[in-house]
C-alpha cells in the first residue's frame, strides 16, 4: 500500500482540477498545466479532492500509484504557488548578471556563458552571486537549475563554482609539502 497514494490531493482555493479521460489538468492564478496518466491508475474527483487509486493489483500499478498522486500534487502546487530554486555562486571573479531575459555568467572561462531561459521559466539575479529560477513546472525548474550548475560544479578543494543554496560541498585537504 502506498502511503502517499492513499492521501487525496486537497483542493486549493483558486485552482480548478479537471479530469478528461487519461488527462488531468489544473488551472490557477499562475497558469495552466496538464499531465497524461498511465493506464494502471484511476483518478477521480472526490469530496476531499482528487483521489488516485491503482487500476489492478500489479507491481507496476502499485509503483505508479504514489508517483501519479505526487505529480498531480505538483500540478496543483505549481499553478497556485509556483516553484523556486536558488543558486549561489562562489569564487573570485565568478558572477552573474541579467542580459535581457537571459543570464550572463562569468565562471572563469575565457568567454562569458549566456544561458537562455526556456519557455515558462523566469530567471532573476538579485545579487551578483545569486540566481533565482522560478516557474510552474517543478521538473523544468529543477532541470534549468541543474543546467546552470553544470557549467561549473563546486570543486572540493576551494569550493569554487555554482551550487544550490544551502548545498553542502565536501571539502578536501590540499597537497602537503
Q: Which tens digit of pLDDT belongs to each residue from 8-25?
A: 999 888 999 999 989 999
Distance CA 136, CA 75 (A): 8
133 contacts 141 by C-beta, under 8 angstroms: yes
Bridge partners (DSSP) listed for residue 16: 27
Counting beta carbons within 10 angstroms of the beta carbon of residue 73, is it exposed (0 to 12), middle (13 to 18) or buried (19 or more)? buried
Enumerate domains of the chain plus CATH numbers. 3-80 (3.90.930.12), 83-164 (3.90.930.12)
Sorting pLDDT into bands at 50, 70 and 90, what band is 175? confident
pLDDT score, position 11: 87
pLDDT score, position 130: 96
Segment 126-148, tens digit of pLDDT: 999 999 999 999 999 999 999 99
Sorting pLDDT into bands at 50, 70 and 90, what band is 176? confident
Amino acid at each position: 500500500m502506498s502511503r502517499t497514494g492513499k492521501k487525496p490531493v486537497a483542493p486549493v482555493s483558486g485552482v480548478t482540477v479537471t479530469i478528461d479521460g487519461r488527462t488531468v489538468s489544473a488551472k490557477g492564478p499562475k497558469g495552466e498545466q496538464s499531465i497524461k496518466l498511465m493506464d494502471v491508475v484511476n483518478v477521480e474527483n472526490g469530496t476531499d479532492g482528487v483521489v488516485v487509486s491503482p487500476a489492478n493489483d500489479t507491481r507496476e500499478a502499485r509503483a505508479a500509484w504514489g508517483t501519479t498522486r505526487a505529480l498531480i500534487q505538483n500540478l496543483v502546487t505549481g499553478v497556485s504557488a509556483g516553484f523556486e530554486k536558488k543558486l549561489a555562486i562562489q569564487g573570485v571573479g565568478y558572477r552573474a548578471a541579467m542580459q535581457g531575459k537571459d543570464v550572463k555568467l562569468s565562471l572563469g572561462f575565457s568567454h562569458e556563458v549566456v544561458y537562455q531561459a526556456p519557455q515558462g521559466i523566469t530567471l532573476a539575479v538579485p545579487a551578483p552571486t545569486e540566481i533565482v529560477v522560478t516557474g510552474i513546472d517543478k521538473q523544468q525548474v529543477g532541470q534549468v537549475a541543474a543546467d546552470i550548475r553544470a557549467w561549473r560544479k563546486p570543486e572540493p578543494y576551494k569550493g569554487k563554482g555554482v551550487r544550490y543554496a544551502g548545498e553542502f560541498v565536501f571539502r578536501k585537504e590540499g597537497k602537503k609539502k
